[in-house]
Structure 1
Amino acid sequence: MGTPHVTKWSSINIRPVFSQATETLTKADILDDEDNFEELYGEWNPKLCGAAMADDGRYFAALVGGPRWDDPYTIILMRDVVGQTFSRSDVRRELRDIQVLPATDKDGAPSYVAISLNGDIYVVGPQGSEHSVIPGTRAESEAAPDIEFNSILPFDNRWLVAGSDGFLKLGKDALWEEAAPPLKSEYPYREPKWSILGVSGEGDIFVAATQAADTRYFNLYPGHPLYRKDMTGDEVLALQRKLSAERNAFPQLTTLFSGKPDAWKQHKLPQRIASAISDYPYVASFVSGVNGSDYVIGSDGLVMEGVPPRGLSEISSVPDREKNFFGGAFWQGNLVLIADSEIFQFDGHLAKTFAPKVKIKLGSQRVQPSAVFSRNERLYVFDYGLRYFIFDGQEWVQRDIPADLSQRPFKGSR
């Protein structure tokens, strides 16, 4: 691969990155505790926790970080495979999702949009970096409601953003509007946590909602209808156990929709996903097929196939119930799925192991996939261990993220 060139981009509320020619960091360029952050927070142990790839396979961006509530930090690495260049921006936030913004010039490099746990939106690309916040979130004020964001999708020159506390909104800058399908939250359930799963080739957006029993109804505190000031410690403990058991008796609810912000269609999920007492099932991702069908995948071996206007039906088998799928790609006519520490190829009914046959010199001997894409008849599997694999149907090739590009703070490429 040779020595990668690292490009410097200007930034707004994003720590700058440095070119090979700029090797010296000044105190103005780094945060006060950068020199001793390991003493403060422990060893920096970054993971490649997410990625986005342009349609032509030439460009991709990876999220590299070590999310901790007391020390959020994420590196955005942008790669031009043909030019063999990397660009890097650092943010003091835990980034949860990143998506491609196609270039207006067909020969130009794309930009990327990312969402933080707290509601920051970052746009990074060849023209530099921009930072904005969703009004009324923790990104704007510590006094705001504690909404946790998880996904973002470019839509109609705006952003569709999903998170907890019933947040599924469409907007940009200071103007945002409700975009969620109609879904009631009845006692004792919390407002739904929304997630954006993906979008089909026809433009149908897939979103999922999960609803769990609200703990505030089942925690014994002064003011609770069952609380008394004269209760003994044993009485408090016994009653709290009873309330916790009651809470655990309410299943987690999961609901699936497709469509657009002004027209949603609900899809029926298998009962073990739609309403489950244990193991917190989930719907994880959407994969657009090239054979006219689309796929929805999730935990407990969930694979559903269909065309959104006509509905979806489950095609997976009972032996796959122990597998928890969270990503997929349609490659050379086959559905490839990632789950936990494995890669599978789905034959229409069963998921069969499908793993890179490569010599791994460093890191874990097991592949730990974090994202998967199919581009130009090639399969790309990104791995938490700061590497990615390329499969052309004949041979697996491993590419490692250069170690200096995951350092904190950035020292520059030697």
Structure 2
Amino acid sequence: MAVDRAKGMSVGWFLTFSQLYVHEVAPAHLRGVVFGVYQAQLSIGSIVGAAVDFGTHTIDGKRAYRIPLAIFFVAPTIQAIALIFFPETPRWLMVQEQEEKAEASLRQLRGSHIDEAQLQAEFNAIRVSTREQLEQNKKALFLAMWKGTNLRRTLLSIAAVCFHAANGSSWVNIYTTYYLQIAGVTNPFGFSIMVTCMGLLGVLSSLWFVRIFDRRTIMLVGVSAVGLAQLCPAIAWSVDPGSETTGKVVVAFIALFVFFYTAYAPSAWLLGGEYPNNQMRAYSFGIATALNFLGNWAGTFSAPYFINPAALGWGPRYGYIWFGSNVIVLVFIYFFLPETKDRTLEEIHEMFEAKVPARQFKGYVCVGVEEMAAKGGSKLEILREEKSGAAIHVESSGDDRRSVAV
């Protein structure tokens, strides 16, 4: 029991802080790609774990559990050594008012090839925005995150992360083998590994489209797809329960569910960490992750009572409930979820402080962009203004121009 608790704590810490680290160090245009890589590593780990379990489940004796346990040590050992060489995030250092270390960290993260003016512009944006946040929320951060504009940001962060639990992913992922078994599928364990591989394909596909499509579009399509993947097996089982044809339908749509879920899941985690400000990101994202775990536990705990033939005996018809929850999520995304693709965390902060409506985030122009467009910008310019002693950092790429006060 003590080992299980320690494992749960370590997984919870790692999932929370590893994602926070990605949020705060990745360049704005690459955050989606980096999160896809993160999710791909999770999928690869799941496949390796499932394959090892499948390969050792027929072994008699102690090797049946010693081999999987020994393999478990490989990835954590590599990660523990690699972490020694990782720099602290510049935004966290800035919150701690360690500006010199923050600049050194950013310089290390961006590499020596980056233009010095561009690096200084990004650093100044982080510095000024973080100072503003510190001034606004000096004490009792846990209380401040539920007040003013922070309340909206906290609730959005919680909602985006908890979409995972609302999709029904917990019971599909954990009870896949049993679910396939009661659906009459032969070799359910082998098919469950195939389903896990579909998850990896979904993640790899996200590395491509995350740079092309908006976050909202990915979320809307992903949630619609997983909702239908819950509904179709339920309908098939209602029409012809227990038949071979229905079993094939169940396998196909579980695989499709996992594919679309893992394809859009990185974007949900991404949004959950982009919405809070630098000072409160760990608090908001931590609470969101904890509530998501709670939701996953509720789905996992309740699933046997619905799908078990000895209980309610719904089987795949359990998907009706999750189809309904996905419809609710879909409506929420359409009306309330702001678009943050290619925005820096400081730009996102500016828009929340300006109380921009969710569906206007995409087209919102941050400070100084009109002046930049009028001058016909190059890739990077820094315009100095005497007003408030501020500088305007303007980024321009083709017709896509944005600026932030620094």
> TM-score, normalising length from structure 2?
0.24
Higher relative contact order (CA 8 A, sep 6+): 2
More strand by share: 1
